[in-house]
Amino acid sequence: MSETASRTSPELVLVELDPGQADALAEFFTALPEGDRTFVKEPVDDLAVVRGWAEAQGRAARWLAVSEDAVVGYLALLPLTGWSSHVGELRLVVAPEARGQGVGARLAEHALTAAVEMGLSKVVVEVVAVQETTIGMFNRLGFRGEALLTDQIRDGDGELQDLVVLAHDVHAAASALETVGADD
């Protein structure tokens, strides 16, 4: 796998998704618990969909977190269109065995940097309200709650769950860093 993003630690490398990694990403999704796959919002069990992402990303940007040649995380930053073209939707999934090791935070940080490079000024992410650890991680990165959608989704058991929409004003954060000379 080619390294197209930054090396975040000796164990974890972020790589931009390309056609050569489509099968590895499909295997990653197949190994995820059913509930985790539903948060990607696209039919990730369809290999043609995953290959399509790798072949023609358009405005979307997608990365893999790779550790010891295994995909342990997936990140997508999907710019919205029309009157929301300044906003990017973040989709992030970490393999169960890699959770609690900072993989999600590293991917989210990478997405925020990429958002600035893509000219986005806001990034939003949707999180199931009961995922307090995930919400805490995003809060530590500067995301703030913008909406609570009650009974918005069904979990794997068919039970209704609340959904939290978190947002990060990346333009303001980048401007603040530039003001103090820490924008590198």
SS3 string, the chain, reads CCCCCCECCCCCEEEECCHHHHHHHHHHHHHCCHHHHHHHCCCCCCHHHHHHHHHCCCCCEEEEEEECCEEEEEEEEEECCHHHCCEEEEEEEECHHHCCCCHHHHHHHHHHHHHHHCCCCEEEEEEECCCHHHHHHHHHCCCEEEEEEEEEEECCCCCEEEEEEEEECHHHHHHHHHHCCCCC
Architecture of domain 13-179: 3-Layer(aba) Sandwich (3.40)
Whole-prediction pTM value? 0.84
Q: Tell me, what amino acid is at 63?
A: W
pLDDT digits (tens, 9 = 90+) for 127-152: 999 999 999 999 999 999 999 999 99
Mean pLDDT score, 90-104:
93
- Residue with more model confidence, 139 or 52: 139
Is pLDDT of 28 > 60?
Answer: yes
What's the pLDDT band for 184 if we cut at 50, 70, 90?
Answer: low
What's the pLDDT band for 177 if we cut at 50, 70, 90?
Answer: very low
- Provide the mean pLDDT of the chain: 85
In whole angstroms, give the CA distance from residue 150 to residue 81. Answer: 26
Mean pLDDT score, 161-167:
95
- Domain ranges, ordered by start, for the chain: 13-179
Question: What is the per-residue pLDDT for 149?
Answer: 97
Q: What angle do CA 74, 51, 170 make, to 5 degrees?
A: 40
